[in-house]
């Protein structure tokens, strides 16, 4: 074999080595970033996010891992501020079992929640209907508005039918407020709620290499987020057990469900805050901002809004200022963010 042939063979081998090395480098560059192997001490060992409770149908509760947290103050379900309330009078004491048996099979009228409370014979206070109790009176109500719109005439009429059937079953008489007045009140409340509703969503996009689901989860866990019931979702729990989460973090569900999550590429995560659902005492926007800044730095990401426009610190300052005005308006209407009334109205 001539020296020229040997040189060509050597050159070819060198080219193959260079190509192989380049492919390996490219493969490593394109591989999603992985979580480190060490355990994150601050990550709570839970596997569920808040779920709807049975007593307060619109108020989430956390699993037993958070049983050390304080419980929210007990509030009556019915409130004239956000409900139509009809009083049912009875001539004789009615047992809780009989009252529960008289309730309609569905506790909703259209898109609105239907409630009933009894006046306890022993305590003289209104309470949810419970078996084994005795009641000297009742009040039944329907919510005036929620995020699906205001109470309308058809829903009010259905409310009257269900309430009258309940009253008849317990040998009671019922007094209904005027339909037109209540429907008008529902529309006014809905207009206020629509003008003061805020659900913030901000997105972090990977600048270069994508992330694996484990990489995202590890960084979020360091900030107190826990796994949610839905794959690809994490939540930051409230300081009080049973209240909605302060923040939610979500990413591609398909990536979270992949057979090999380490090879799934996540290029964006969304941080969201449902403003009326969370008390301002939790400082939710400040915590959202801190989370965004920390993840942006640690995960090499860029922050954008829902239209994929980059968000500056000045833009975040403006949002913070506007939120303070919204909180003040809700407080003035006695619908403070995070209150039981606000959580029901903005649901």
Residue among 57, 181, 76, 185 nearest 138 (CA): 76
The two tokens of residue 217 are 């989860």
115 has a pLDDT exceeding 70: yes
pLDDT (0 to 100) of residue 204: 96
Question: Do 144 and 185 contact (CB within 8 A), yes or no?
Answer: yes
Q: Under DSSP, is residue 127 helix (H, G, I), strand (E, B) or coil?
A: strand
Comparing 13-22, 39-48, 222-231, the range with the smallest average pLDDT is 39-48
How does pLDDT run across 290-304, given as a tens digit for each residue?
A: 999 999 999 999 998
Q: What is the DSSP string of 262-303?
A: GG--B-EEEEEEEGGGS-GGG-HHHHHHHHHHHHHHHTTEEE
Which are the contacts of 308, defined by CB distance < 8 A and separation ≥ 6?
203, 205
pLDDT (0 to 100) of residue 56: 35
6 has a pLDDT exceeding 80: no
pLDDT (0 to 100) of residue 257: 87
Residue among 159, 174, 60, 154 nearest 106 (CA): 159
Residue among 91, 98, 105, 58 nearest 346 (CA): 58
Question: Do 271 and 247 contact (CB within 8 A), yes or no?
Answer: yes
145 has a pLDDT exceeding 70: yes
- 18-47: b (≥16 Cβ within 10 Å) or e: eeeeeeeeeeeeeebbebeeeeeeebeebe
Distance CA(318)–CA(311), nearest Å, equals: 11
How does pLDDT run across 18-70, given as a tens digit for each residue?
A: 444 444 444 444 556 666 765 443 333 333 333 333 333 333 333 444 445 55
Residue among 253, 222, 220, 216 nearest 235 (CA): 220
pLDDT (0 to 100) of residue 285: 97
Instruction: List every span in the chain annotated with CATH 3.30.1400.10.
Output: 196-345
Four-way CATH pick for 83-194: 1.10.10, 3.40.50, 3.30.1400, 1.20.140: 3.30.1400
Q: What are phi and psi of 151, to 5 degrees?
A: -60, 135
Which of 4-8, 241-245, 333-337 is modeled with the greatest confidence? 333-337
pLDDT (0 to 100) of residue 37: 62
CA dihedral 297, 298, 301, 307 (to 10 degrees): -80
347 has a pLDDT exceeding 50: yes
Residue 244 confidence class, pLDDT cut points 50, 70, 90: very high
CATH of domain 196-345: 3.30.1400.10
Across all residues in the chain, what is the average pLDDT? 84
Distance CA(315)–CA(320), nearest Å, equals: 9
């Amino acid at each position: 074999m001539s020296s020229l042939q040997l040189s060509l063979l050597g050159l070819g081998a060198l080219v193959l080595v260079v190509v192989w090395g380049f492919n390996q480098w490219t493969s490593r560059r394109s591989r999603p970033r992985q979580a480190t192997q060490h355990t994150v001490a601050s990550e709570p060992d839970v596997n569920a996010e808040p779920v709807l409770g049975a007593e307060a149908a619109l108020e989430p509760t956390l699993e037993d891992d958070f049983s050390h947290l304080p419980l929210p103050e007990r509030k009556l379900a019915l409130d004239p501020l956000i409900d139509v309330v009809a009083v049912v009078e009875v001539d004789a004491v009615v047992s809780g079992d009989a009252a529960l048996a008289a309730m309609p099979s569905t506790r909703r009228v259209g898109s609105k929640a239907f409630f009933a409370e009894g006046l306890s014979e022993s305590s003289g206070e209104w309470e949810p209907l419970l078996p084994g109790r005795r009641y000297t009176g009742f009040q039944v109500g329907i919510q005036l508005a929620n995020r699906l719109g205001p109470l309308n005439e058809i829903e009010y009429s259905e409310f009257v039918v269900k309430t009258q059937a309940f009253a008849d079953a317990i040998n009671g008489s019922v007094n209904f407020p005027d339909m037109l007045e209540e429907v008008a009140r529902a529309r006014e409340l809905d207009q206020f709620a629509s003008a003061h509703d805020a659900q913030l969503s901000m997105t972090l996009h990977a600048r270069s290499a994508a992330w694996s689901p484990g990489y995202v989860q590890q960084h979020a866990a360091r900030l107190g987020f826990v796994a949610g019931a839905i794959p690809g979702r994490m939540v930051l729990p409230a300081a009080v057990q049973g209240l909605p989460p302060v923040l939610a973090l979500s990413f591609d569900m398909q990536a979270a469900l992949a057979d090999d999550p380490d090879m799934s590429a996540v290029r964006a995560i969304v941080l969201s805050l449902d403003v009326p659902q969370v008390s301002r005492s939790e400082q939710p926007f400040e915590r959202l901002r801190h989370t965004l800044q920390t993840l942006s730095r640690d995960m090499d990401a860029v922050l954008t809004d829902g239209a994929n426009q980059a968000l500056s610190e000045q833009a975040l300052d403006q949002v913070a200022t506007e939120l303070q005005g919204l909180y003040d308006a809700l407080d003035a209407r006695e619908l403070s963010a995070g209150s039981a009334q606000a959580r029901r109205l903005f649901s």
